[in-house]
């Protein structure tokens, strides 16, 4: 099964990490017996110097999403004889829970810009970037491109950030050493090494398939992480794996998005908030052996024009249906998808040279890429967007005073002063952290005995731009929960 791999929040198969180390040992032993590799920042005898230099630039991506609980069952209403089971099931009024996922990313600008895969952060309500020293920072989504599975994030921090440079993926050759750093199975910064196994792989992920294949161990959670060459430059973004089983583990066939495509898209997202692609105004289809022979070619190559947009760049340049394009922007077209790849990195408005076959003759023309028709579907509101306006307070948690019935029902001693969690609203960060019926005794280190006191203490923490720390009473020990304010 060929699949993209959204990062897992839990450790799935811890033994896979050991397999990666064992698999790497013979290759390392073989290399140290030969001539040392001479690359800037690379020790030659192992990958330690390179890994030490690059690890601070690779981050973990943590996302959270509020979803309906299984079955979508609401809480039992107040006064119901089954009301006490709300505490057991942790149900809120609208039956929502918080789920999370983990992935990888890397810093491309000391100003705080971070690159990852779109599928790592897709549909998330909140995104955190976790630096190599463990610091967790809320991230803002600058923009995304679903066609090539990329997203650009921005974090603000006083901590100096170390960025990594883009490399030239066109210079990455089969057989060259590469190193991947990421967050497999939520384990945190993990380094694996291998070689480039193949180039220009089409894995049916989209129109711009041109993946670098590597045998460096890539697993779930590595999504969005960088693939480095021995100069410490990013030549690929780890995006997909081939995994024939259900475990999702590495079998030595991973796929990385080439840096030359990625850096063009990311630059556009950074400037415009979205990718800006050009179009030649033509439909191009693959060429099979029989079609190739009818055009006087020995093997299938090029792209066949099967439709033209009236008044588009291709028609204006003189192209016709039935023309077979063999070269585009001075690059040979081996397959029709090469055209999409070249257009994907070309600038809108660029003048492109075209060579094509018509009637047994090789002809040339040039066309100017026009802006692709912008599709601006209405962005669906996230759960957080929908719920933010409905929050009754900045915590999204409704409290009630502890009464005698609560003390008997929940076994709360008379000496305990606090408030009871009556409801958790769906956009609250407390979803999945607090449960209905929890007894909160302190808010931001302030003892509370009424809902007004609890919210006032939370507002004081919010004004200081800090998460709100709640102390929760338990029959044997207290616990602490940190809740972000909306």
For tokens 């959670």, the residue is 221
Best CA proximity match to 124, nearest among 153, 100, 92, 154? 100
Enumerate the active-site residues: 119, 149, 223
Vertex 104: Cα angle to 100 and 107 (nearest 5): 125
Q: Are the beta carbons of 92 and 115 closer than 8 angstroms?
A: no
Tell me the Ramachandran region of residue 238: left when phi exceeds 0, alpha when psi lies from -120 to 50, beta otherwise: beta
Strands 351-358 and 361-368 turn out to be antiparallel
Q: Are the beta carbons of 143 and 269 closer than 8 angstroms?
A: yes
Q: What is the CA radius of gyration of the chain?
A: 28
Both structure tokens of 198:
């193949």
Best CA proximity match to 406, nearest among 349, 449, 363, 463? 449
Both structure tokens of 397:
């948690």
Q: Are the beta carbons of 354 and 337 closer than 8 angstroms?
A: no
Best CA proximity match to 139, nearest among 118, 154, 121, 120? 154
């Amino acid at each position: 099964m060929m699949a993209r791999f959204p990062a897992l929040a839990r450790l799935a198969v811890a033994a896979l990490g050991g397999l990666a180390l064992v698999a790497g040992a013979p290759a390392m032993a073989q290399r140290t017996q030969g001539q040392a590799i001479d690359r800037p920042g690379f020790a030659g005898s192992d990958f330690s110097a390179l890994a030490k230099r690059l690890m601070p630039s690779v981050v973990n991506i943590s996302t959270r999403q509020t979803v309906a609980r299984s079955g979508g069952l609401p809480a039992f209403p107040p006064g119901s004889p089954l009301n006490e089971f709300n505490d057991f099931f942790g149900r809120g009024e609208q039956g929502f829970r918080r789920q999370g996922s983990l992935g990888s990313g890397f810093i491309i600008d000391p100003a705080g810009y971070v690159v990852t895969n779109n599928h790592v952060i897709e549909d998330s309500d909140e995104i955190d970037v976790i630096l190599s020293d463990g610091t967790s920072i809320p991230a803002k989504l600058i923009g995304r491109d679903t066609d090539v599975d990329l997203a650009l994030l921005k974090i603000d921090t006083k901590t100096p950030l170390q960025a990594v440079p883009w490399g030239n993926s066109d210079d990455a050759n089969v057989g060259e050493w590469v190193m991947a750093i990421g967050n497999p199975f939520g384990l945190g910064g993990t380094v694996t090494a291998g070689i480039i196994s193949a180039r220009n792989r089409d894995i049916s992920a989209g129109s711009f398939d041109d993946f670098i294949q590597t045998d460096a161990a890539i697993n779930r959670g590595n999504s969005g992480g960088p693939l480095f060459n021995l100069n410490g430059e990013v030549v690929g973004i780890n995006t997909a794996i081939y995994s024939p089983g259900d475990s999702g583990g590495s079998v030595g066939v991973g796929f990385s998005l080439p840096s030359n495509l990625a850096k063009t898209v990311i630059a556009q997202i950074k400037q415009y908030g979205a990718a800006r692609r050009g179009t030649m105004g033509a439909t191009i289809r693959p060429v099979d052996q029989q079609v190739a022979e009818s055009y006087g070619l020995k093997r299938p190559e090029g792209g066949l024009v099967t439709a033209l947009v009236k008044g588009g760049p291709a028609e204006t340049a003189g192209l016709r249906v039935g023309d077979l394009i063999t070269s585009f922007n001075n690059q040979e077209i081996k397959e029709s998808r090469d055209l999409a790849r070249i257009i994907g990195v070309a600038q809108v408005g660029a003048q492109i040279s075209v060579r094509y076959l018509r009637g047994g003759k090789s002809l040339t023309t040039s066309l100017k890429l026009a802006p692709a028709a912008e599709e601006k579907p209405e962005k669906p509101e996230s759960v957080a967007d929908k719920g933010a306006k409905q929050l009754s307070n900045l915590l999204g948690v409704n409290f009630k005073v502890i009464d005698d019935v609560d003390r008997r029902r929940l076994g709360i001693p008379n000496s305990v002063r606090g408030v009871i969690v009556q409801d958790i609203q769906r956009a609250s960060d407390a979803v999945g952290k607090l449960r209905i019926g929890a007894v909160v005794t302190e808010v931001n280190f302030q003892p509370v005995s009424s809902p007004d006191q609890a919210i006032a203490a939370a507002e004081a923490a919010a004004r200081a731009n800090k998460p709100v720390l709640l102390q929760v009473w338990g029959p044997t020990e207290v616990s602490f929960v940190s809740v972000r304010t909306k």
